[in-house]
């Protein structure tokens, strides 16, 4: 049984601001029923761009309901600028804390707020260049990076507690660890890659082969899959999928999200991975 | 507030007769049954009687009963023993819906290099016997299939499965932790090699279990130590609990009919009333081949933890297969193996009754649950109530 604070229990049993605002100024839907957590947030602004009303609907456990209820209470009366600064920690603190394993409920609240504000401003819902890291729960590298830096997370388990990433099949644990390592090594990936000297074509081919052999193939084989390098044309890396990869509907995600990610990270940021056309 | 305990597949109340039977063995009759003096020797005699009572409940010979510390120990002992005595065979057959005591062990063994077949189940939680038969090979060392599922109560045809295994000379183990005491079991009528049972699922205390080992089955002990249990399980006997388990098995035999009439009636009443009063609800698992005390019901568009907490407010105890309550982030492996849709799996609640439940308790749950579900649905972004056809609902 989870140990919830009285405040969590109160906001679960007597949730504030349940519902949907008609003709809202900002609206967001985050999470999904498959993941077990989903939140719909709507808010209304007054003429001074202050949030006069906020309402929510939640599918999820007690702490998800309480987090959403707390979020609406926190942001009511705030200007948009103030609301932009609300973090998941503010939600958790408002509730007197959440169990570690339930911190993802507060992160869901923050994501909904961010998206609803973005929706008001007319911003696109997903940032360009985001890569899915956790396929089970559809969590991107940007979401993981943000949770790590804002909450000073240092282990894969903590990342799972805060974002759910890695809480399903567990195949992405290495990738999450790599993100943690990267953040604490002080180097952002782009900067690291830019420092790399320009490679000759031959060097590039060797490096690609080596990266596939050492960094990529072992992870794929772990799942019964494999890839073969077919050709390299300029910056296009053409591969063929083998084993379970060949029949897996998520293989495209693996090629882009993992193979290409690794090759860009370790060889050259300009590389594009393509599957051999049958 | 009164506790309404409908979580008997998790654990049960120690029966008062059982408690009375075990208490003297803590403070008064604390002797070691292995001792030479009569003070200890008298305990050995009571343990012998307990062994006979356990054997009687499942139609076994007392010599075939090995006392262990729990169901998990029995399951681990059985599977590891079968592998130890068949060192040249490297294949294990089990199902996708086993209890972690079997499932996690088998997955661990797969990492150690064993080949593992995890049989699928259909949407009702049933095995495909043809697929099972085809999975048995010359390399198969052991089959481990549960008799009844802890989450849904679905009963597997283990006796038929055991026959097919025996015909091929394969050791057959069943985790019968949920079945023993709830449905009649007679080991004389089947060819199951090993069976696990657990005390605390049938009104004995936690910390005692049994491994049934059919005579003539080659065996390798898990705990190696003293000569207890004829060298098949080292360690000083948990005397009070073993005696308690004997008493509990005696009661279970006596209550078997009540279990399959009164308990079944209460379970059916609860199930029918909830399905009728709560729209978008359904039963998970085969409703025919099922334990008489268990029902697993999904309430669409709500999450199980909220249901449990609101029921808890009324003193009602049950379980859920939702992600939030499982300690992991995914809903129960049993419901996923059955392909229960996510909209349903997260909102699943298991009610498991015992002979100590009353009709008033069931009526109370029937009265309270519809408003609990309605309240959580009013918070859910997915719930779009349809106009009710029936005016009385």
Q: Is B59 left (phi over 0), alpha (psi -120 to 50) or beta?
A: left
Whether residue B301 lies inside any domain: the answer is: yes
Å between A137 CA and nearest CA of chain B: 9
- The reply to whether B267 and B231 lie within a common domain is no
Q: Is A106 left (phi over 0), alpha (psi -120 to 50) or beta?
A: alpha
Q: A195-275: which CATH architecture?
A: 2-Layer Sandwich (3.30)
Residues of chain A within CATH 3.30.300.130 domain(s) are 195-275
Asked if residue A67 lies in contact with residue A91, where contact means CB atoms within 8 angstroms, the answer is: yes
Instruction: Locate all alpha helices (DSSP H) within B61-128, ordered by sequence.
Output: 71-85, 100-111
Tell me, what's the pLDDT at A222?
Answer: 77
Answer whether B35 touches A (CB < 8 Å): no
- The reply to whether B142 and B186 lie within a common domain is yes
- The reply to whether B246 and B274 lie within a common domain is no
Tell me, what's the pLDDT at B190?
Answer: 98
The helix (H) or strand (E) run that includes residue A11 is helix A6-13
First to last CA, chain B: 28
**DSSP helix/strand/coil, B379:** helix
Whether residue B306 lies inside any domain: the answer is: yes
Nearest to A33 among B313, B330, B343 (CB): B343
Tell me, what's the pLDDT at A197?
Answer: 61
Kindly report the pTM of this predicted structure: 0.81
**B249 annotated active-site:** no
Which of B200, B224, B252 represents a domain boundary (last residue)?
A: B252
Cα Rg of chain A (Å, integer): 22
Tell me, what's the pLDDT at B325?
Answer: 63
* Cβ within 8 Å, pair B330-A168: yes
A120-123, long-range: CB < 8 A, 24+ apart? A120/A25, A120/A26, A120/A43, A120/A45, A120/A80
**In chain B, which residues have pLDDT < 50?**
388-393
Strands (E), A117-183: 132-134, 139-140
- The reply to whether B221 and B267 lie within a common domain is no
Whether residue B390 lies inside any domain: the answer is: no
Using alpha carbons, select from A111, A99, A215 the residue that is nearest to residue A161.
Answer: A99
Asked if residue B184 lies in contact with residue B156, where contact means CB atoms within 8 angstroms, the answer is: no
- The reply to whether B25 and B141 lie within a common domain is yes
How far is Cα B344 from Cα B363, in angstroms, rounded to an integer? 24
- The reply to whether B69 and B97 lie within a common domain is yes
What is the pLDDT tens value at each position of chain A, 278 positions in all? 778 999 999 999 999 999 999 999 999 999 887 778 899 999 999 999 999 999 999 999 899 999 999 999 999 999 999 999 999 999 999 999 999 889 999 999 999 999 999 999 886 655 567 788 887 788 888 889 988 988 889 999 999 889 888 888 788 998 999 999 888 887 554 444 444 566 777 788 888 888 888 888 888 887 778 888 888 887 888 888 887 766 666 677 778 778 888 888 888 888 888 887 65
- The reply to whether B305 and B244 lie within a common domain is no
The helix (H) or strand (E) run that includes residue B41 is helix B38-57
Tell me, what's the pLDDT at A212?
Answer: 87
Residues of chain A within CATH 3.90.1010.10 domain(s) are 6-121
How far is Cα A123 from Cα B2, in angstroms, rounded to an integer? 54
Q: Kindly list the residues from chain A whose CB atom is less than 8 angstroms away from the CB atom of residue B310.
A: 13
* Cβ within 8 Å, pair A136-B330: yes
Total tally of structural domains belonging to chain B:
2
Whether residue B357 lies inside any domain: the answer is: yes
Which of B219, B252, B285 represents a domain boundary (last residue)?
A: B252
Answer whether B322 touches A (CB < 8 Å): yes
* Topology of domain A6-121, CATH: Sufe protein. Chain: A (3.90.1010)
Whether residue B68 lies inside any domain: the answer is: yes
Q: What residues of chain A, 137 to 196, have a C-beta less than 8 Å from chain B?
A: 137, 160, 164, 167-168
Tell me, what's the pLDDT at B96?
Answer: 97
Nearest to B381 among A35, A38, A136 (CB): A38
Helix, strand, coil shares of chain A, percent, nearest 5, are: 50, 20, 30
Answer whether A97 touches B (CB < 8 Å): no
Tell me, what's the pLDDT at A247?
Answer: 66
Which of B230, B252, B274 represents a domain boundary (last residue)?
A: B252
Indicate the burial class of B320 (C-beta count within 10 angstroms; 0-12, 13-18, 19 or more).
buried
Instruction: Look up the CATH superfamily of A132-186.
Output: BFD-like [2Fe-2S]-binding domain (1.10.10.1100)
Tell me, what's the pLDDT at A191?
Answer: 42
Torsions phi, psi of A273, nearest 5? -95, 130
Torsions phi, psi of B319, nearest 5? -125, 165
Determine the structural domain holding residue B334 and report its residue range.
4-10+255-379
* Cβ within 8 Å, pair B322-A57: no
Answer whether B250 touches A (CB < 8 Å): no
Cα Rg of chain B (Å, integer): 22
Whether residue B98 lies inside any domain: the answer is: yes
Q: What is the ipTM of this complex?
A: 0.85
């Amino acid at each position: 049984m989870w140990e919830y604070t009285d405040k969590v229990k109160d906001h679960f049993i007597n949730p504030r601001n349940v519902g949907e605002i008609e003709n809202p100024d900002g609206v967001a839907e985050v999470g999904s029923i498959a993941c077990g957590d989903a939140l719909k947030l709507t808010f209304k602004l007054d003429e001074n761009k202050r949030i006069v009303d906020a309402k929510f609907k939640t599918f999820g456990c007690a702490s998800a309901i309480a987090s959403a209820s707390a979020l609406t209470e926190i942001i009511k009366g705030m200007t948009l600028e103030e609301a932009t600064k609300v973090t998941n920690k503010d939600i958790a603190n408002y509730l007197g804390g959440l169990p570690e394993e339930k911190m993802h409920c507060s992160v869901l609240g923050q994501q909904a707020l961010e998206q609803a504000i973005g929706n008001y401003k007319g911003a696109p819902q997903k940032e360009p260049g985001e890569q899915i890291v956790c396929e089970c729960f559809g969590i991107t590298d940007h979401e993981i990076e943000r949770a790590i830096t804002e909450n000073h997370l240092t282990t894969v388990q903590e990342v799972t507690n805060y974002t759910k990433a890695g809480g399903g099949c567990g195949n992405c644990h290495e990738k999450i660890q790599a993100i943690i390592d990267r953040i604490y090594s002080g180097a952002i990936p782009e900067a690291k890659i830019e420092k790399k000297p320009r490679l000759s074509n031959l060097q590039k081919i060797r490096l690609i082969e080596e990266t596939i052999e050492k960094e990529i193939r072992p992870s794929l084989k772990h799942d019964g899959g494999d890839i073969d390098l077919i050709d390299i044309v300029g910056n296009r890396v053409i591969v063929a999928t083998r084993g379970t990869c060949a029949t897996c509907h998520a293989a495209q995600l693996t090629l882009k999200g993992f193979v290409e990610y690794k090759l860009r990270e370790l060889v050259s940021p300009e590389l594009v991975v393509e599957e051999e056309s049958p | 507030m009164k506790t309404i305990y409908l979580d008997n597949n998790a654990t049960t109340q120690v029966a008062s007769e059982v408690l009375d039977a075990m208490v003297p063995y803590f403070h008064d009759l604390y002797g070691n049954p292995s001792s030479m003096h009569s003070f200890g020797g008298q305990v050995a005699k009571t343990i012998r009687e307990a062994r006979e009572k356990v054997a009687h409940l499942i139609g076994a010979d007392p010599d075939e009963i090995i006392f262990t510390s729990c169901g998990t120990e029995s399951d681990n002992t059985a599977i590891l023993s079968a592998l130890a005595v068949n060192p040249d065979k490297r294949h294990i057959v089990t199902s996708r819906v086993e209890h972690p005591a079997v499932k996690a062990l088998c997955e661990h063994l797969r990492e150690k290099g064993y080949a593992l077949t995890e049989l699928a189940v259909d949407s009702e939680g049933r095995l495909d016997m043809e697929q099972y038969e085809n999975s048995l090979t010359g390399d198969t060392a052991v089959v481990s299939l549960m008799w009844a599922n802890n989450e849904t109560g679905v009963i597997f045809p283990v006796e038929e499965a055991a026959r097919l295994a025996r015909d091929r000379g394969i050791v057959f183990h069943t985790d019968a932790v949920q079945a023993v005491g709830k449905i009649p079991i007679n080991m004389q009528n089947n060819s199951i090699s090993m069976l696990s049972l657990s005390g605390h699922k049938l009104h004995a205390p936690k910390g005692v279990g049994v491994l049934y080992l059919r005579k003539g089955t080659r065996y390798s002990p898990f705990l190696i130590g003293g000569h207890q249990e004829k060298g098949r399980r080292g360690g000083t006997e948990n005397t009070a609990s073993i005696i308690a388990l004997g008493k509990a098995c005696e009661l279970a035999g006596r209550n078997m009919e009540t279990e399959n009439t009164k308990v079944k009636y209460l379970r059916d009443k609860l199930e029918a009333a909830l399905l009728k009063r709560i729209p978008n609800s359904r039963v998970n698992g085969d409703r025919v081949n099922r334990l008489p005390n268990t029902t697993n019901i999904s309430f669409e568009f709500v999450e199980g933890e909220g249901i449990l907490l609101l029921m808890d407010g009324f003193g009602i105890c049950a379980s859920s297969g939702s992600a939030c309550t499982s300690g992991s982030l995914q809903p129960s492996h049993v419901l996923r193996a059955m392909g229960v849709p996510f909209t349903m799996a997260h909102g699943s609640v298991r009610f498991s009754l015992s002979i100590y439940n009353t009709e008033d308790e069931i009526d109370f749950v029937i009265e309270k649950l519809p408003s609990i579900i309605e309240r959580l649905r009013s918070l859910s972004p997915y719930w779009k109530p349809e106009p009710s056809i029936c005016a009385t609902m």
